[in-house]
């Protein structure tokens, strides 16, 4: 074979090799479906969380980037109480108070009812809000560190006056339960926004379904036995998913988190339904 023929064969081989290299693409090895594989060290973007219609926002929602507080007290992906999405309403105003109770409980069994979400919910309605007639648990759902407890009038056969959302405050199997808000259906309190900074006077509002309803609003804090403020009685409301609006003034706020509670009743009891939300003073 002469030199000219060897040159032609070598050139053809080089061209064929270049063509095969171009067909392989530059986006990585193909996967089983024929599309390029994900580059090493990358992952698909996380799914976004949709908040529910509740005065205690979705417990697994993340704070915006750059605003997330430390999560040392929030195992299993639950934001810590005091973060943008979960506010400690009652019975403990701070994590330090909850931890002090844990130490007292471990040393002498002090106030074991803090470990029971039902008892904590009823103590919230009767002892904190002053709703003596709301003394019965109508439903209970506990999932990990979260509990939803329905509370109703004692002796009544009706449904819940409210469904309270509770979260374990702190770490360990003996972390106490803390009320953080309510899950609402036919009576909601959406203004002011959950966890927002407020001043007096304050406009409150939400939506309601009912007939001849009478709404009144109170502002409370755990360190005070009496309300910090109460709206004039009473604001008429009703219809199907209709908006309501009530102004309220308050004084004497010193706790970091306040409870705003709206109540409707007057047909068969003073408190037939209620809804709560948490706001901040600083």
DSSP 217-275: EEEE-TT-SS-SEEPPS-EEEEEEEEEEEEEE------SSEEEEEEEE--SSSS-SEEE
pLDDT higher than 90, residue 149: yes
Cβ neighbourhood burial of 29 (10 Å; 0-12, 13-18, 19+):
exposed
> How many domains does the structure of the chain reveal?
2
Between 56-60, 141-145, 192-196, the lowest mean confidence (pLDDT) is in 56-60
Q: Which of 57-66, 170-179, 206-215, 224-233 has the lowest mean pLDDT?
A: 57-66
Do 177 and 190 share a domain, yes or no?
Answer: no
40: Cβ–Cβ under 8 A, 6 or more apart, which residues?
none
Q: pTM of the entire structure? A: 0.73
- Is 133 among the domain residues? yes
CA–CA dist 164, 187 (Å, integer):
13
Question: Domain ends where: 165, 183, 201?
Answer: 183
- Taking residues 149-154, report their average pLDDT: 96
Of 4-8, 129-133, 213-217, 239-243, where does mean pLDDT reach its minimum? 4-8
Nearest in space to 40 (alpha carbons), one of 28, 52, 30: 28
Give the CATH number, domain containing residue 245. 2.60.40.2550
Which of 149, 183, 217 is at the close of a domain?
183
Please, what is the end-to-end C-alpha distance for the chain in angstroms? Answer: 93
Question: Of 128, 154, 183, which residue constitutes the final position of a domain?
Answer: 183
Rg, C-alpha atoms of the chain: 29
Range of the domain at 144: 79-183
pLDDT of 66-115, one tens digit each? 222 322 233 444 566 766 679 999 999 999 999 999 999 999 999 999 99
Residues 205 and 282 in one domain: yes
Mean pLDDT of 113-127: 98
- Give the residue from 126, 120, 170 showing the smallest Cα distance to 147: 120
Long-range CB contacts (within 8 A, 24+) of 38-47? none
């Amino acid at each position: 074979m002469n030199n000219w023929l060897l040159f032609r064969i070598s050139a053809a081989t080089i061209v064929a090799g270049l063509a095969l290299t171009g067909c392989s693409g530059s986006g990585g090895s193909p996967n089983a479906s024929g599309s390029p594989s994900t580059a090493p060290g990358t992952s698909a973007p996380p799914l976004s969380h949709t908040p529910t219609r509740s005065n205690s926002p979705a417990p697994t929602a993340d704070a915006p980037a750059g605003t997330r507080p430390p999560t040392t007290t929030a195992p299993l992906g639950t934001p810590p109480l005091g973060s943008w999405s979960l506010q400690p309403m009652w019975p403990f105003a701070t994590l330090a108070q909850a931890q002090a109770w844990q130490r007292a409980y471990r040393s002498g069994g002090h106030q074991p009812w803090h470990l029971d979400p039902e008892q904590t919910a009823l103590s919230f309605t009767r002892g904190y809000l002053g709703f003596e007639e709301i003394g019965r648990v109508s439903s209970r759902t506990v999932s990990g560190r979260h509990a939803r407890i329905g509370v109703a009038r004692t002796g009544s056969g009706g449904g819940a006056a409210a469904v309270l959302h509770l979260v374990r405050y702190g770490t360990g199997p003996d972390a106490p339960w803390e009320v953080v808000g309510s899950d609402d259906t036919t009576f909601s309190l959406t203004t002011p926004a959950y966890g927002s900074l407020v001043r007096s006077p304050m406009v409150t509002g939400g939506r309601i379904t009912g007939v001849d309803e009478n709404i009144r609003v109170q502002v409370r804090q755990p360190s005070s036995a009496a309300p910090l403020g109460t709206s004039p009685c009473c604001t008429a409301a009703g219809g199907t998913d209709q908006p309501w609006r009530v102004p309220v003034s308050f004084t004497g706020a010193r706790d970091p988190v306040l409870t705003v509670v709206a109540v409707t009743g007057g047909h068969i009891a003073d408190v037939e339904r209620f809804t709560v939300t948490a706001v901040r003073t600083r």
